Amino acid sequence: MGRHSHVRLNAPRGSPRCTRRTKVALLIAAASVKSLANGENQTVMDMALCYDPRFVGDDGVMFYFHGAKGGNFAIVSDDNLQINAHFIGTRPEGRTRDYTWVQALVVMFDTLVLAAKRVSQWDGTFDALNVRWDGGTVNIPTDGEAEWRTTTEEREAIVERTDDANSVKLTVAGLVELNVKVKAIGEEENKVHNYQLPADDAFAHLETQFKFTKVSDLVEGVLGKTYRPGYASPVKRGVPMPMMGGKDKYRTPSLYSPLCKACRFKGQASFASI
């Protein structure tokens, strides 16, 4: 069966939706995410993040998931796919918890990694997105077809530029499609929300769209579980910030680990670093 879901992480308040032979496929370092799943009975949903990651699941219910600064959590976990997120954050003086953003995503299927570089000052003409394959850096051409591709025993993977810098499309045949754009938190946004971000970190973040070819009826993860048939959201409705629990249930030992209390992924872990 397939599902449709649209996700945006780290939208400011008031926005429209506010290696080796491992099984790791994609790392995206940033703080903003959009997601799509595709299949039968398609329904487009929005998932957004404001301050802490804010999602709208496949059931159409919006919820927040705080995660934890420096923590890693399974966003989607299924038999042949797992997407983990690494959270970064800051805690201004007088605040009882962190502001958090999703700084990195790893899509586990084989050995493709995309990572956003940490930048002290944001320059949109500087390409802050890294692509890695089997431990080596991949340079995506900026001319011609402006793409890089590889074929594994099971699938073909293609990364193509959709802009001169900081914007690519990843296609993993028969599994997932992602449109990724690296962004940063601007000075005005920092002031308005009183993030008190350090002067040497632009908190680069991503806006990403996922299109999943298929998810099972038993899919898990902070977002993944909302794709289950008959799923009923436990979050409290009608409140400004409906909170989703599960931090302990979906925490993974590292960004690259497929292990958590509820994880279903049957691939191998990778312990590569960003």
Q: Would you say residue 109 has pLDDT above 50? A: yes
Q: Tell me: the pLDDT tens digits for 239-256?
A: 888 989 889 999 999 988
pLDDT, residue 43, reads 32
Q: Show Cβ contacts of residue 50 under 8 Å, excluding neighbours closer than 6 positions.
A: 10, 11, 12, 13, 15, 18
Q: What is the pLDDT of residues 91-108, one digit of tens each?
A: 888 888 888 888 787 878
Q: Give the mean pLDDT of 99-126.
A: 80
Is residue 149 scored above 70 in pLDDT?
yes
**pLDDT tens per residue across span 45-74:** 333 333 457 787 888 888 888 888 899 999
The per-residue pLDDT for range 187-204, each reduced to its tens digit, is 898 888 888 888 899 888
Structure confidence at residue 211 as a pLDDT band (50, 70, 90): confident
To 5 degrees, how large is the angle CA 248–CA 250–CA 115? 125
What is the predicted pLDDT for the residue at 101? Answer: 81
How confident is the model at residue 18, as a pLDDT?
Answer: 35
Report which of residues 165 and 39 the model is more confident about: 165
C-alpha distances out from residue 74 to 83, 168, 220, 230, Å: 6, 23, 8, 21
Residue type, 167: S
pLDDT tens for 217-241 read 999 999 889 889 999 999 988 888 8
Give pLDDT tens digits for 9-50: 443 333 333 332 333 344 444 433 344 444 433 333 333 333
**Per-residue model confidence (pLDDT) at position 165:** 95
Q: What pLDDT was estimated at residue 29? A: 43
Integer CA distances (angstroms), 102 to 93, 125, 168, 230, in order:
21, 22, 18, 28
| Residue-level pLDDT at 111 | 58
